[in-house]
């Protein structure tokens, strides 16, 4: 899946525009596979084949009802699919009861939930929607969705925690539910092509470029490649519409892979065997992260002033942090060896330390907060920094993902411009890093997205301000749906501890 697809929480096309048909085709290419997986987990693969096609046909008919201000296109599509699946509630319950005979008490309890409670829980656990987003796509008040979600979780809790007390049980319930029915068949190439052809036929009279099928499933890619000419023929025969096959879909401006070093084959991770180390740094960059290095700058700051950064984050922890974000504020002096201040959750924990070294003895790549002295010790030569990060990542199950994890741990801190430039130059040589120069943050800000996926399917993304190279967003997603998201803001204030008016 492309990095644009991984930023799918920001997709908000105007489906009332003249090019709505093209936009919906792009949405099909990005989301058909994930919608199929969601529906196959709820019902079965054959039913999901039909419902994916019906979802996009219904989306085309109902496109005037989609409001980009209310939510993302991905969330809206899952809402359409959920409404269609509701008529299959009895089949869904039968499938879960069959799973419970394996035995799986949790699946049996899930089958006994009221339909409206089960679909809310599965939108959160399987479709990865936030409760507020699920409320929007279902057309329900948030309080109603929260009540249904709470009832569903409480009904399943005894099958997860076995009566244990303590916090964080809602996350454990969601994680346990997310582990159910993970081995459903993928959407077949024939079903994909047929559903896409039906959508194009419904749109009618539109000249479209054929974009490649999703890149997420290797077996699907190989089969779809074998069907390449046949797929086009099917669409032409079914619709009479001429498809222009120009190969891969449109690329971000200036991100021509012909100028980059080729990506090497990614070695598989074999349990019990050492994963090969990262390849050496090539003679030219592999991706467009190199462009960020020329754009970096620091906010104007005078002696005596402080760079104020605030990070609003949601993620796993005590209780349901999807609904209770945490706040992290930091004040960095003009003289970076002076006293820094870190305040977490609006004063619950405040630390002051010279050079930002809040926890002496915890320097290094694994430190939670990197002090200025350690940051100053890092090389400004991309080749040396690449070698250092590759050495730190060697021996890990997925060295490329660990390399990016270490780099993101630094870049999400208030790092000076020269070091940020070095990191972006270094990341441009990292294999398998995906760069989307036309991404957007959750609040609609333009961003450059840097995304790395590891061998488990988990991914981490940095969202970078294209004007100054500051990281303004950070997201992580695990296969078990344990999720972390943060937005980061920067401004300059006159006193330590002061906040913008």
The residues spanned by each domain of the chain are 14-178, 189-244, 288-493
Positive or negative: CA dihedral 465, 469, 473, 474: positive
Q: Which pLDDT score is estimated for 185?
A: 85
* DSSP SS3 for 162: coil
Q: Which pLDDT score is estimated for 207?
A: 39
| DSSP notation for 238-270 | HH-PPEE--SS----TT--GGGSPPPPPPPPP-
Q: Which pLDDT score is estimated for 388?
A: 94
Q: Which pLDDT score is estimated for 4?
A: 40
pLDDT digits (tens, 9 = 90+) for 247-271: 333 333 334 555 789 999 998 888 7
Q: Report whether 433 contacts 289 (CB < 8 A).
A: yes
Q: Find where tokens 């301000």 sit.
A: 465
pLDDT digits (tens, 9 = 90+) for 123-175: 988 888 888 888 888 888 888 999 999 999 988 888 886 655 456 678 888 88
Residue segments in the chain with a per-residue pLDDT below the cut of 50: 1-10, 165, 205-255, 317-323
Q: Which pLDDT score is estimated for 479?
A: 65
Q: Report whether 149 contacts 131 (CB < 8 A).
A: yes
């Amino acid at each position: 899946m492309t990095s644009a697809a991984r930023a799918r929480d920001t997709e908000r096309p105007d489906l009332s525009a003249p090019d709505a048909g093209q936009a919906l085709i792009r949405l099909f290419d990005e989301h058909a596979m994930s919608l199929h997986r969601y529906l196959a987990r709820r019902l079965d693969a054959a039913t999901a084949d039909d419902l994916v096609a019906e979802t996009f046909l219904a989306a085309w008919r109902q496109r005037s009802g989609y409001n980009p201000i209310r939510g993302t296109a991905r969330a809206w599509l899952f809402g359409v699919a959920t409404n269609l699946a509701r008529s299959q509630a009895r089949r869904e319950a039968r499938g879960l009861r069959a799973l419970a005979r394996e035995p799986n008490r949790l699946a049996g309890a899930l089958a006994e939930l009221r339909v409206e409670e089960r679909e809310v829980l599965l939108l959160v656990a399987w479709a990865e929607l936030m409760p507020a987003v699920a409320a929007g796509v279902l057309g329900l008040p948030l309080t109603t969705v929260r009540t249904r979600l709470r009832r569903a979780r409480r009904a399943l809790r005894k099958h997860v925690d076995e009566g244990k007390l303590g916090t964080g049980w809602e996350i454990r319930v969601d994680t346990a539910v997310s582990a159910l029915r993970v081995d459903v068949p993928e959407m077949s190439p024939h079903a994909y092509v047929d559903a896409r052809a039906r959508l194009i036929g419904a749109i009618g009279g539109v000249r479209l470029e054929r974009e490649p099928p999703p890149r997420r499933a290797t077996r699907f890619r190989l089969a779809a490649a074998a069907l390449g000419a046949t797929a086009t023929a099917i669409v032409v025969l079914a619709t009479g519409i001429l498809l222009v096959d120009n190969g891969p879909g449109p690329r971000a401006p200036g991100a021509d892979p012909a100028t980059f070093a080729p990506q090497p084959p990614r070695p598989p991770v074999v349990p019990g065997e050492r994963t090969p180390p990262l390849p050496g740094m090539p003679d030219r960059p592999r991706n467009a992260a190199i462009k960020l290095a020329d754009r970096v700058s620091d906010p104007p700051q005078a002696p005596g002033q402080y760079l104020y950064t605030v990070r609003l984050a949601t993620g796993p922890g005590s209780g349901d942090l999807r609904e209770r974000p945490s706040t992290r504020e930091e004040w960095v002096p003009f003289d970076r060896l002076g006293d820094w201040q870190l305040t977490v959750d609006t004063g619950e924990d405040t630390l002051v330390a010279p050079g930002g070294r809040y926890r002496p003895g915890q320097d290094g790549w694994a430190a939670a907060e990197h002090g200025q002295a350690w940051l100053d010790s890092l090389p400004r030569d991309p080749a040396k920094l690449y070698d250092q990060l590759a050495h730190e990542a060697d021996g890990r199950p997925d060295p490329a993902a660990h390399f990016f994890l270490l780099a993101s741990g630094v870049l999400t801190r208030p790092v000076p411009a020269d070091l940020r430039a070095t990191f972006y130059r270094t990341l441009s040589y990292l294999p398998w890093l995906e760069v989307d120069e036309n991404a957007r943050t959750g609040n609609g800000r333009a961003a450059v997205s840097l995304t790395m996926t590891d061998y488990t399917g988990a991914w981490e993304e940095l969202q970078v301000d294209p004007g100054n190279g500051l990281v303004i967003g950070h997201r992580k997603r695990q296969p078990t749906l344990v999720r972390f998201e943060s937005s980061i803001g920067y401004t300059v204030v006159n006193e330590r501890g002061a906040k913008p008016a």
